[in-house]
């Protein structure tokens, strides 16, 4: 995960670790390399620039040049700033409500259906919940089938209505069904499209308004870099979602989405997807991710 970024940051710190006496120029060169590494990882230019400015201010504040191990202190400052940028503390998921209603949003192919299954499985096995999965993609019968397959794999019931073309109605009926049948979490999987369009946004906004979810989660493919950030912004402007799910972090992703998304939409990354299997889900801890990136 983020191997390229880790390598480049490691090289950036070589500048500091290699010198007997550290000068202001060495620190400036290191920060320049750090910025370049972030840009190469597809982090937005302004975010990368602000990042190094903040680290520089802290380095001056802590008199980095006079400390015994300036290299180590710089690594720590970068690690702290990366953690902050990615959200600081881990953000939990709101499980209030009877039942808790969770709405999944995102583009087609982002991993929404897969993640709906992973989350249901996580809540069932780790939180002792009884989840119901709801198929609200009225355009693609294959998507409904896919959710049934996923539900079958994890032993979670899937609610769908054949022939009903009204996602608001399906979601509302599913919540009624959940209440009547002892389900305490309802996970609503919605229709995505290949790109942001008005019709999809209206549809999900209508579902959102009608069911008033306790958690609205936005699912995005980490491999899409700055596009992921732009899509997040479009969905957040419309839905004011509660958290981000970053999928496909097992792939050859550069890391830009993980690093930038929080500061653009001011919403935490809550979970990450790290594979196609139902168990490939992790709670997102910004500090652990920063540690991983910096090795």
- Residue positions forming the annotated binding site: 106-113, 189-193, 247-250
Q: What is the token pair recorded at 66? A: 């006079």
106 sits near ligand GDP (criterion: CB under 6 A)? yes
267 sits near ligand GDP (criterion: CB under 6 A)? no
In angstroms, the CA 84 to CA 117 distance is 30
| DSSP per-residue string spanning 196-229 | --HHHHHHHHHHHHHH--SEEEEEEEGGGHHHHH
Positions in 131-160 near ligand GDP (CB under 6 A) = 146
In angstroms, the CA 181 to CA 102 distance is 17
250 sits near ligand GDP (criterion: CB under 6 A)? yes
Candidate segments 1-9, 85-93, 173-181, 270-278, binder of ligand GDP by CB under 6 A: 270-278
275 sits near ligand GDP (criterion: CB under 6 A)? yes
Kindly tell me which of 44 and 110 has the beta carbon lying closer to ligand GDP: 110
105 sits near ligand GDP (criterion: CB under 6 A)? no
253 sits near ligand GDP (criterion: CB under 6 A)? no
- Residue nearest ligand GDP, Cβ-based: 273
Kindly tell me which of 38 and 278 has the beta carbon lying closer to ligand GDP: 278
190 sits near ligand GDP (criterion: CB under 6 A)? no
Phi, psi of 102 (to 5 degrees): -120, 125
Among 248, 262, 267, 270, the residue binding ligand GDP under the rule CB under 6 A is 248
Candidate segments 52-60, 128-136, 243-251, 262-270, binder of ligand GDP by CB under 6 A: 243-251
Phi, psi of 243 (to 5 degrees): -165, 165
- Are 34 and 12 spatial neighbours (Cβ–Cβ below 8 Å)? yes
274 sits near ligand GDP (criterion: CB under 6 A)? yes
Q: Which residues are annotated as a binding site for GTP?
A: 106-113, 189-193, 247-250
- Are 183 and 131 spatial neighbours (Cβ–Cβ below 8 Å)? yes
21 Cβ contact partners less than 8 Å away, ≥ 6 residues apart: none
Among 83, 184, 190, 247, the residue binding ligand GDP under the rule CB under 6 A is 247
196 sits near ligand GDP (criterion: CB under 6 A)? no
Task: Give me the sheet containing 131-136, strands edge to edge.
Answer: 158-159, 131-136, 185-190, 100-106, 215-221, 243-247, 269-273, 281-283
* Residues in binding contact with ligand GDP, number by CB under 6 A: 19
Phi, psi of 109 (to 5 degrees): 90, -5
114 sits near ligand GDP (criterion: CB under 6 A)? yes
- Between CA 210 and CA 93, with CA 154 as vertex, the angle to 5 degrees is 45
Instruction: For the CB of residue 126, give the shortest distance to ligand GDP in the complex, in Å.
Output: 18
User: For binding to ligand GDP (CB under 6 A), which residues are involved?
Assistant: 106, 108-114, 146, 192, 247-248, 250-251, 273-276, 280
């Amino acid at each position: 995960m983020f191997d390229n970024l880790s390598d480049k940051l490691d090289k950036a710190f070589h500048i500091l670790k290699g010198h007997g006496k550290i000068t202001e120029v060495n620190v400036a060169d290191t920060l320049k390399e750090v910025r370049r590494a972030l840009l190469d990882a597809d982090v937005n230019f302004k975010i990368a620039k602000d990042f190094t400015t903040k680290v520089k201010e802290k380095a001056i504040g802590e008199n980095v040049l006079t400390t015994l191990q300036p290299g180590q202190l710089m690594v720590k400052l970068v690690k702290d700033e990366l953690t902050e940028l990615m959200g600081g503390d881990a953000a939990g998921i709101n499980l209030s409500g009877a039942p808790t209603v969770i709405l999944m949003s995102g583009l087609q192919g982002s991993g929404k259906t897969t993640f709906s299954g992973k989350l249901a499985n996580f809540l069932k096995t780790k939180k002792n919940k009884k989840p119901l999965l709801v198929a609200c993609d009225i355009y693609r019968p294959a998507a409904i089938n896919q959710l049934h397959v996923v539900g079958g794999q994890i032993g979670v019931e899937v609610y769908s209505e054949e022939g009903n073309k009204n996602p608001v109605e399906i979601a509302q009926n599913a919540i009624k069904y959940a209440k009547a049948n002892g389900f305490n979490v309802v996970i609503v999987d919605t229709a995505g499209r290949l790109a942001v369009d008005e019709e999809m946004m209206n549809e999900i906004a209508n579902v959102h308004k009608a069911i008033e979810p306790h958690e609205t989660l936005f699912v995005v493919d980490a491999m899409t870099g700055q596009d992921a950030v732009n899509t997040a912004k479009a969905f957040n402007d419309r839905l004011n979602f509660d958290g981000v799910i970053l999928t496909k972090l097992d792939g050859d992703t550069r890391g830009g989405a993980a690093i930038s998304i929080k500061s653009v939409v001011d919403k935490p990354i809550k979970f990450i997807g790290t594979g196609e299997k139902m168990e490939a889900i992790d709670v997102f801890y910004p500090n652990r991710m920063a540690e991983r990136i910096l090795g």
